[in-house]
């Protein structure tokens, strides 16, 4: 009698062979009607996959719609100014994605006649095209037979194969993708990839998979062998996210606010915000506000009035922002201006791409009864 391992791997092969047809049949009936599926074209598929890589479908939809309305084609995106691209992406987070979309569009126009290259290897050469996006666009838009899967698909596959390692590690990920590659149908790779991710989003969810409704339950080792399939995939305990305390100054002069642009690379790159920075240990928020304003802009804040505190969470840390309003005498010469620092009216401010936390500060200005600059006070 063959040993257990051989038997198991034969069974896995048999299961794998049946996976494609079952998933595709399920997808044909349960495929959600999503905006990027209505009149799909490679550009729209690209934009949607970039959003979906870090954003859940329900959250991604409004951002997707706003973005493609504003930039309906690769040419339009390529012609845009970077600030306008960031503005259209505002709120979606991970702003490097928007900068890369913009750069890639320009390169596609310059080097590929305005059309996306049709295979994953060629796509990989473009800014922002990592392994997932390249494979997703190549398979979904152009039918290349290649596995494209993200957290949802990897979770399903880990359960199917009773994988106990962490899918975020490169070795485990490779193992899961190899398993999928052996199941990939020859000419329906895009639908297979989408079906698997969709199954993860709607049926094989992180905490409460609906195994009785699952089209591939009969092939699923977690379902057959575990009391609780949801214990997979393995999630290493996350260390606590650091928390930062930050002071922010809205410096106002003649109805304008002083804003500055963040460096191109790094967190929130290219977005505009008010001067400010971390509160040092033992330092009061007001002292930090005064110090940061002076260090960053050379401005001495005459008097700073607290306007409140806002909280914001990022993927790897959280912040509390202590907001202050400073009014500056307009008789003194203007503070340093330049491409990355400007005095703007509230109307001009509204056209700049800014982080969500900065919008919260502006909301405080209204709530705290502080008059919006340039507007008459109303009780
Ligand atoms: N998640 C990421 N890409 C997806 C797609 N194309 N369909 C469903 N879920 C997804
Ligand atoms: Fe996920 Fe359950 Fe389906 Fe297995 S049977 S793939 S655990 S939903």
Ligand 2 atom closest to the Cα of residue 156 is 6
Closest ligand to C-alpha of residue 22 is: 2
Atom of ligand 1 lying closest to residue 152 CA:
1
Is the pLDDT at 5 greater than 60? The verdict is no
Residue that is written with structure tokens 């080792």 in the block: 221
Q: How far is the CA of 191 from the centre of ligand 1 (A)?
A: 10
The answer to whether residue 379 scores a pLDDT higher than 50 is no
Mean per-residue pLDDT, 328-345:
76
Asked whether residue 374 carries a pLDDT value surpassing 50, the answer given is no
Nearest-CA residue for ligand 2 atom 1 is 204
Model confidence band, residue 119 (pLDDT cutoffs 50, 70, 90): very high
Which atom of ligand 1 approaches the CA of 201 most closely? 9
Q: For ligand 1, pick from 37, 48, 60, 206 the residue to mutate: most ligand atoms within 8 Å of CB.
A: 48
The single residue of 49, 273, 296, 299 carrying the catalytic annotation is 49
**CA–CA dist 338, 343 (Å, integer):** 10
Q: Does 347 participate in catalysis according to the annotation?
A: no
215 close to ligand 2 (CB < 6 Angstrom): no
Alpha helices, DSSP H, located in the chain: 4-30, 35-38, 42-52, 57-70, 74-79, 82-89, 96-112, 120-123, 131-142, 151-160, 170-183, 189-202, 221-225, 285-297, 346-351, 356-367
Strands 341-344 and 256-261: antiparallel
Closest ligand to the CA of 27? 1
Contact 90 CB / ligand 1 (< 6 Å): no
More confident: 235 or 284: 284
Q: Do residues 69 and 89 touch, judged by C-beta distance below 8 A?
A: no
Could you tell me how many helices (H) and strands (E) the chain has, helices first? 16, 7
In this structure, what token pair is assigned to residue 11?
């069974």
Which residue is associated with the tokens 């590659």? 181
**Range of lowest pLDDT (4-8, 26-30, 286-290, 318-322):** 4-8
Condensed to tens digits (0 to 9), the pLDDT of residues 230-278 reads 999 998 877 788 999 999 999 998 899 999 999 988 889 999 999 999 9
Place of tokens 């410096």: 251
Within 10 angstroms of residue 292's Cβ, the number of other Cβ atoms is: 21
Instruction: Please identify, by atom number, the ligand 1 atom nearest to the C-alpha of residue 150.
Output: 2
Smallest Cα–Cα separation from 296: which of 243, 244, 360, 247? 247
Beta carbon of 200 within 6 Å of any ligand 2 atom: no
CA dist 379 and 305 (Å) reads 18
Q: What mean pLDDT, rounded, does the chain reach? A: 90
- CA 80 to ligand 1 center in whole angstroms: 27
At residue 96, the pLDDT reads 93
Which helix (H) or strand (E) is 250 found in, with range? strand 243-253
Please say if the pLDDT value at position 39 is more than 70.
yes
CA of 13 to the centre of ligand 2 (A): 18
Q: Is the dihedral of CA 264, 270, 275, 281 positive or negative?
A: negative
> How much is the pTM?
0.83
Per the document, the length of the chain is 379
Pairing outcome for strands 318-327 and 243-253: parallel
Q: Does ligand 1 come within 6 angstroms of the Cβ of 156?
A: no
| Average pLDDT, integer, range 306-315 | 93
Query: What tens digit of pLDDT does each residue of 127-186 get?
Result: 999 999 999 999 999 999 999 999 999 999 999 999 999 999 999 999 999 999 999 998
């Amino acid at each position: 009698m063959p040993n257990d391992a051989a038997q198991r791997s034969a069974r896995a092969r048999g299961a794998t062979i049946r996976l494609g047809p079952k998933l595709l049949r399920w997808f044909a009936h349960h495929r959600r009607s999503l905006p990027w599926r209505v009149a799909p074209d490679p550009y729209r598929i690209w934009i949607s996959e970039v959003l979906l890589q870090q954003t859940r479908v329900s959250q991604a939809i409004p951002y997707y719609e706003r973005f493609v309305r504003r930039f309906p084609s690769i040419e339009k995106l390529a012609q845009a100014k970077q600030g306008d691209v960031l503005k259209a992406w505002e709120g979606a987070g991970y702003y490097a994605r928007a900068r890369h979309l913009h750069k890639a569009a320009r390169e596609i126009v310059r080097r590929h006649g305005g059309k996306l290259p049709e295979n994953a290897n060629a796509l990989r050469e473009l800014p922002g095209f990592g392994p997932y996006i390249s494979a997703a666009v190549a398979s979904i838009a152009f039918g290349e037979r290649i596995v494209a899967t993200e957290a949802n698909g990897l979770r399903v596959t880990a359960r199917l194969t009773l994988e106990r390692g962490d899918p975020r590690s490169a070795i485990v990920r490779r193992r899961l993708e190899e398993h999928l590659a052996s199941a990939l149908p020859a000419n329906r790779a895009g639908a297979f990839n989408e079906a698997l991710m969709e199954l993860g989003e709607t049926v094989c969810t992180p905490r409460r998979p609906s195994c009785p409704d699952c089209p591939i339950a009969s092939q699923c080792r977690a379902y057959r062998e575990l009391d609780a399939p949801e214990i997979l995939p393995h999630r290493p305990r996350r260390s606590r996210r650091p928390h930062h305390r930050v002071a922010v100054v809205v410096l106002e002069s003649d109805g304008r606010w002083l804003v500055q642009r963040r460096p191109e690379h790094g967190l929130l790159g290219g977005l505009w915000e008010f001067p400010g920075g971390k509160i040092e240990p033992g330092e009061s928020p007001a002292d930090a506000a005064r110090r940061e304003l002076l260090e960053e802009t050379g401005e001495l804040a005459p008097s700073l009035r607290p306007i409140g505190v806002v909280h914001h969470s990022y993927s790897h840390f959280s912040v509390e922002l202590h907001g202050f309003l400073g009014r500056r005498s307009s008789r003194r010469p203007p503070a340093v201006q330049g491409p990355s620092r400007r005095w703007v009216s509230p109307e001009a401010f509204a056209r700049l791409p800014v982080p969500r936390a900065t919008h919260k500060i502006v909301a405080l200005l209204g709530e705290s009864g502080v008059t919006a600059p340039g507007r008459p006070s109303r009780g």
